[in-house]
C-alpha cells in the first residue's frame, strides 16, 4: 500500500504506476499494452484534436469491508462507450478488451486503491479517441482506447451536505438532436462557460434547461437530476441527457426502499413541489441540493432548512455506497470482485 494521506485526496490527478492502451489500426484492434508513460504520442492531424472524435468513461474500484476489491457496473460503462463511439462514428471497443483493460489497470495500480474506511476509491478513466490523421472532415481510420487510474478521496470532506444549484438558460450543453446522450468531450466544452460562471456567482452545480423550450429540466453539467416528492423518485427523460449509471442504480434502490419511480419530462415549475433534490454521478454518487436559483428569473427554490440532506437522499446514498464497499449484500449483481492483494 502506498504511503498516501488518503483522507485528504481530492478528485484530481495523481501519478500512478501504469496505464493501459490498445490501438485500432489496419482494420483491427491490437493487443493491450501496459505503459508507465503519462504521455500519448499523437499525430498532429488526429481527428480527436480537430473534430472532436473523443469519448470517455468514469468508473470506480472500491476496497470493501472484507478487504475485497469491487469494480462497480463496468459492463454498463462499456455499453455506454459503445453508444458514444457510434454517436461520433468511432470504432467501438470490444467487450473483452474493455473488461481486460479494467482488470489490468486495477491490478497494476492496486497499491493505490484507498483502504476501507477512508471513503476513497480508485477512479478509472477510460478514453476512446480518433488517433488517425485527417484534414477533411471524416472519421479517423485509427483509434486509441486507453484507461488510466487515479486514487480519489471522499467527495464530501465535511460530510454529506447540501450544495447550491443554478438554473442556466442562456447557454445550452446539448442540442435536442445533438450528442447530449453520449459521453463525448464536446458536450463538456459546451458546458464549461456556464459552469465557471456559476462558480464565480457562488453556486457549485449548474442545471441546464432543455435547449428547445427552456421549460424542462435536462441535467446538471456532469450529473443527472432527481427530485423526490410524495414517496416518488422523479428524474427527467430526454434525448439530450447522458444516461447516468448512478441514476439507473438509484432508481432500482428507490424501488427497493419502497419509493415509486418516474422517469419523464420534468417541468422547471415543478421544482416548487419537490421535497428533496439531488444531482447524481460516479464522482459524488449524490450531491444533495439545498437550494436552486433560476438565474434568469431570480426565483429561489429551497429544499434544506437545517443545512442537512433529506432523509430519502441519505437512505439512497447509504444504500448505494454500502453495496460498493461490500457492507450491504449486492442483490442486483452490480459488483465484480477483482483479484487483488
Residues that bind ligand PLP (CB under 6 A): 58, 183, 219, 222-224, 242, 244-247, 281-282
**Which lies closer to ligand PLP via its Cβ, residue 19 or residue 246?**
246
Residue 320 CB, nearest approach to ligand PLP (Å): 10
CA pseudo-torsion sign 97, 102, 103, 109:
positive
Q: Which residues of 306-328 are buried (b: 16+ CB within 10 A; e: fewer)?
A: eeebbebbeebbbbbbebbbbee
Shorter beta-carbon distance to ligand PLP: residue 21 or 183: 183
Using CA atoms of 227, 123, 73, 145 in order, give the dihedral in degrees to the nearest 10.
Answer: 120
Nearer to ligand PLP, 132 or 288 (CB): 288
- SS3 state of residue 177: coil
The residue (of 126 and 153) whose beta carbon lies closer to ligand PLP is 126
Integer Cα distance of 53 and 139 in angstroms: 8
- Shortest reach from residue 116's CB to ligand PLP, in Å: 22
- Nearer to ligand PLP by C-beta: 18 or 226? 226
* 129: helix, strand or coil: strand
Cα Rg, the chain, nearest whole Å: 20
d(CA 139, CA 122): 33
- The one catalytic residue in 183, 260, 314, 331 is 183
Rounded to 10°, the helix 245-256/74-87 angle is: 140
Alpha-carbon gap, residue 290 to 205, rounded angstroms: 11
The separation between CA 85 and the C-alpha centre of its own chain, rounded to angstroms, equals 17
Active site residue 68: no
If the CB atoms of residues 32 and 289 are measured against ligand PLP, the closer one turns out to be 289
Tell the smallest beta-carbon distance from residue 185 to ligand PLP (Å). 10
Q: At what angle do helices 74-87 and 95-108 cross, to 10 degrees?
A: 130
Alpha-carbon separation of residue 151 from 112, 176, 182, 321 (angstroms)? 6, 36, 25, 17
How far is 218 from 207, CA to CA, in rounded Å?
7
In the bound complex, what is the minimum distance in angstroms from residue 335's beta carbon to ligand PLP? 15
Q: C-alpha cell of 37? A: 508513460
CB of 136 to ligand PLP, least distance (A): 29
| 25 CB-contact burial (10 Å; exposed 0-12 / middle 13-18 / buried 19+) | middle
In this complex, which beta carbon is closest to ligand PLP, that of residue 32 or of residue 198? 198
Least gap, CB of 281 to ligand PLP (angstroms): 3
In whole angstroms, how close is the CB of 199 to ligand PLP at the nearest point?
17
Q: Would you name the residues annotated as active-site residues?
A: 183
Amino acid at each position: 500500500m502506498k504511503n498516501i494521506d488518503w483522507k485528504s485526496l481530492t478528485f484530481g490527478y495523481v501519478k500512478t504506476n501504469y496505464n493501459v492502451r490498445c490501438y485500432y489500426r489496419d482494420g483491427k484492434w491490437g493487443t493491450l499494452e501496459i505503459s508507465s508513460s503519462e504521455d500519448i504520442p499523437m499525430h498532429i492531424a488526429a481527428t480527436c484534436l480537430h473534430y472532436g472524435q473523443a469519448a470517455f468513461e468514469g468508473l470506480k474500484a472500491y476496497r470493501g469491508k472484507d478487504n475485497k476489491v469491487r469494480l462497480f457496473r463496468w459492463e454498463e460503462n462499456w455499453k455506454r462507450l459503445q453508444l458514444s463511439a457510434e454517436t461520433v462514428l468511432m470504432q467501438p471497443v470490444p467487450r473483452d478488451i474493455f473488461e481486460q483493460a479494467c482488470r489490468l489497470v486495477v491490478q497494476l495500480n492496486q497499491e493505490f486503491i484507498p483502504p476501507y474506511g477512508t471513503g476513497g476509491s480508485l477512479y478509472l478513466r477510460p478514453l476512446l479517441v480518433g488517433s488517425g490523421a485527417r484534414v477533411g472532415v471524416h472519421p479517423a481510420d485509427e483509434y486509441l482506447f486507453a484507461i488510466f487510474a487515479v486514487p480519489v478521496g471522499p467527495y464530501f470532506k465535511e460530510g454529506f451536505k447540501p450544495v447550491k444549484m443554478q438554473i442556466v438558460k442562456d447557454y445550452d450543453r446539448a442540442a435536442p438532436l445533438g450528442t447530449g446522450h453520449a459521453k463525448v468531450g464536446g458536450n463538456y466544452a459546451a458546458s464549461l462557460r456556464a459552469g465557471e460562471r456559476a462558480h464565480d456567482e457562488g453556486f457549485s452545480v449548474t442545471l441546464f434547461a432543455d435547449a428547445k423550450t427552456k421549460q424542462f429540466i435536462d441535467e446538471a453539467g456532469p450529473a443527472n437530476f432527481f427530485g423526490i416528492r410524495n414517496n416518488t423518485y422523479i428524474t427527467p427523460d430526454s434525448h439530450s441527457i447522458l444516461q447516468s449509471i448512478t441514476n439507473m442504480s438509484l432508481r432500482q434502490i428507490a424501488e427497493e426502499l419502497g419509493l415509486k419511480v418516474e422517469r419523464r419530462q420534468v417541468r422547471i415549475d415543478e421544482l416548487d413541489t419537490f421535497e428533496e433534490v439531488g444531482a447524481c454521478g460516479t464522482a459524488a454518487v449524490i450531491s444533495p441540493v439545498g437550494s436552486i436559483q433560476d438565474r434568469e428569473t431570480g426565483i429561489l427554490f429551497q429544499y434544506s432548512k437545517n443545512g442537512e440532506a433529506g432523509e430519502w437522499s441519505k437512505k439512497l446514498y447509504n444504500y448505494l455506497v454500502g453495496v460498493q464497499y461490500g457492507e450491504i449484500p449486492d442483490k442486483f449483481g452490480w459488483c465484480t470482485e477483482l483479484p487483488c492483494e
